[in-house]
Amino acid sequence: MTTTVEITRFRVSPERATDLLAARDGMIADFRADRDGFLDAKLVRLPDGEWLDIVEWRSPADFAASRAKGGNLPGIQAFFALIDELVSTEEGTSQS
C-alpha cells in the first residue's frame, strides 16, 4: 500500500515545548474528526528547538484537502499557534 507522507520541520521556543505537547492531542482529535484520509502522525523532537511532524495520508488528494482547510478547528489552531517558525514542508510517498 502506498500512502502520502507530509513532513513538516518547525521551531518552537523551549519554554513553549510543554504547551506544544499538551496541544497535540487536540490537534490529532480534530484531524481524526475532520480530515478524510488522515492515517497517523508522529512528532519528533530534534535538538535546538526543532521538531518534525510526520503525518501519513491515504492519498495526495486527502493531503491537499487537509492543507486547504488549514487551522479550521480549535485543536488545530491551538497547536499551530505554538509554532514559532516554519522551517520546511515536504511531501512524499511511503512504500509499505
pLDDT tens digits, one per residue of 4-56? 999 999 999 999 999 999 999 999 999 999 999 999 999 999 999 999 999 99
- pLDDT bin (cut points 50, 70, 90) of residue 1 is confident
57-87 pLDDT, tens digit per residue, is 999 999 999 999 999 999 999 999 999 999 9
* CATH number corresponding to 2-90: 3.30.70.100
43-82 b/e with 16+ CB inside 10 Å = b? Answer: beeeeebebebebbbeeeebbeebeeeeeebebbebbeeb
Please give the helix or strand (H or E) that residue 68 lies within, else none: helix 60-69
Q: Where are the domains of the chain?
A: 2-90
